[in-house]
Amino acid sequence: MIHPIQRYLLSALAVILLFISFPLQTAAQENGTFISSNQTEAEIVPRYPKNDAEYHITTQEKSVTLLLTNSAIYLQFTDEYLEKIADDIRGKNESDDSGHFGDVLRSAISSGVQTLLDRAITIPLDEIEEIDYENGRLVITNNDGEEMFEEAEIEDVLIMEDFSRRDARRFVGESEKRMI
């Protein structure tokens, strides 16, 4: 059985590594880490404020939000999901009588995990060829014709299949307005 901390770390790494489903090169930059594939660049950045986005949708599981600005899309964990992770790490969902040392350890782990997960992946709109809704899933295709986020999942739920049909179609429409 996987410990909750390990499960969340694996989920975070899965989202960050989802771009590695196609050949990538990673290079450190002064303002962040860039992940690129031929013509696609994605940057791992601090979380984007949901209220500052032009449009946003959240998965039905309430784990991930996809945000749209006039120049980019952002994929990040929701505040609710980050709080759930923090609660699990702090042991609010489990009984534990390990005392003061356990509390200190959980606090340190919580801080480190939250720092790791408190990020967004951003992709400039000019790196995206098409955004569409097909067969019950949101499909984002880069300029090389490769589908992005195709296999990204959180707790065995594929992210791109977890947006409601209505939300996904509206996101496509809003995206198209900005990609012209």
Residue 144 carries which DSSP code?
Answer: T
* Total residue length of the chain: 180
Rounded Cα distance, 28 and 142, in Å: 22
Does the pLDDT of residue 114 top 70, yes or no? Answer: no
Rounded Cα distance, 34 and 43, in Å: 5
Domain extent at residue 73: 4-179
- 131-147 pLDDT, tens per residue? 999 999 999 999 999 99
Binning pLDDT at 50, 70 and 90, where does residue 15 land?
low
Q: Provide the H-helix boundaries in the chain.
A: 4-17, 79-90, 99-117, 165-179
Average pLDDT over residues 27-41: 41
Contacts of 168 (CB under 8 A, 6+ apart): 57, 133, 137, 138
Q: For the chain, what is the mean pLDDT?
A: 76
Average pLDDT over residues 161-167: 97
pTM for the complete prediction? Answer: 0.72
Q: Decide which of 35 and 42 is more confident.
A: 42
Q: How far is CA 178 from CA 20, 54, 125, 163, in A?
A: 26, 10, 8, 20
Report residue 13 CA to chain centroid gap. Answer: 10
Binning pLDDT at 50, 70 and 90, where does residue 175 land?
very high
- Do 168 and 133 contact (CB within 8 A), yes or no? yes
Does the pLDDT of residue 99 top 50, yes or no? Answer: yes
Pull the structure tokens for residue 7: 């499960």
| Number of domains comprising the chain | 1
Of 119, 89, 88, 116, the C-alpha closest to 104 is 89
Q: Which amino acid is present at 163?
A: F
Does the pLDDT of residue 65 top 90, yes or no? Answer: yes
Rounded Cα distance, 93 and 72, in Å: 37
Binning pLDDT at 50, 70 and 90, where does residue 17 land?
very low
Of 59, 58, 57, 29, the C-alpha closest to 45 is 29
- Do 125 and 16 contact (CB within 8 A), yes or no? no
